[in-house]
């Protein structure tokens, strides 16, 4: 060791940990239903806010768009009939990254708009 200050530290200071680190999201969606675009849009918005987050996608059954955070189901299109609002998912991720209890997201936007 050279004895120079700052050279013995291996781990980054806590303020340098990427937001969302330690949070794992799994999104299960129906590909034949055309929900992949919705998944990609949501994943992009989440990664923008929480670059350290782990997001995994899985193909699901007909009509599915289910979201788990750290193994807990937080949103179900099969139950709600629509898709989650980004702000609600971002809030759930914030809670998970702070170690707060998660609540199921019950607000949803319609899956399509008929003009």
pLDDT tens digits, one per residue of 81-112: 999 999 999 999 999 999 999 999 999 988 66
Helices then strands (H, E): number in the chain?
3, 4
Task: Give the Cα separation of 70 and 55 in Å (integer).
Answer: 10
Q: Is residue 103 situated within a structural domain?
A: no
Q: Is residue 90 situated within a structural domain?
A: yes
* CATH number of the domain where residue 45 is located: 3.40.30.10
Q: Is residue 44 situated within a structural domain?
A: yes
* Domain span including residue 89: 24-98
Q: Is residue 64 situated within a structural domain?
A: yes
Task: Give the Cα separation of 26 and 29 in Å (integer).
Answer: 10
Task: Give the Cα separation of 17 and 115 in Å (integer).
Answer: 46
Q: Is residue 9 situated within a structural domain?
A: no
Domain count, the chain: 1
> Given pLDDT bands bounded at 50, 70 and 90, which one contains residue 12?
very low
Q: What is the pLDDT of residue 63?
A: 94
pLDDT tens digits, one per residue of 14-45: 455 566 778 999 999 999 999 999 999 999 99
pLDDT tens digits, one per residue of 54-74: 999 999 999 999 999 999 999
Let me know: does 64 contact 94? Beta carbons within 8 Å. no
Q: Is residue 69 situated within a structural domain?
A: yes
Q: What is the pLDDT of residue 109?
A: 87
Question: Model pTM?
Answer: 0.80
């Amino acid at each position: 060791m050279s004895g120079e200050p700052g050279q013995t530290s291996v781990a980054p200071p806590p303020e340098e940990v990427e937001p969302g680190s330690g949070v794992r999201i799994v999104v299960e969606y129906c590909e034949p239903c055309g929900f992949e675009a919705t998944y990609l849009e949501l994943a992009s918005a989440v990664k923008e806010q929480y670059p350290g987050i782990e997001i995994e996608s899985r193909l699901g059954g007909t009509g599915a768009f289910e979201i788990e955070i750290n193994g807990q189901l937080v949103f179900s299109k099969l139950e709600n009939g629509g898709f989650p609002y980004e702000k609600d998912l971002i809030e759930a991720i914030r809670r998970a990254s702070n170690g707060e209890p998660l609540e199921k997201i019950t607000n949803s936007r319609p899956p399509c708009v008929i003009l």
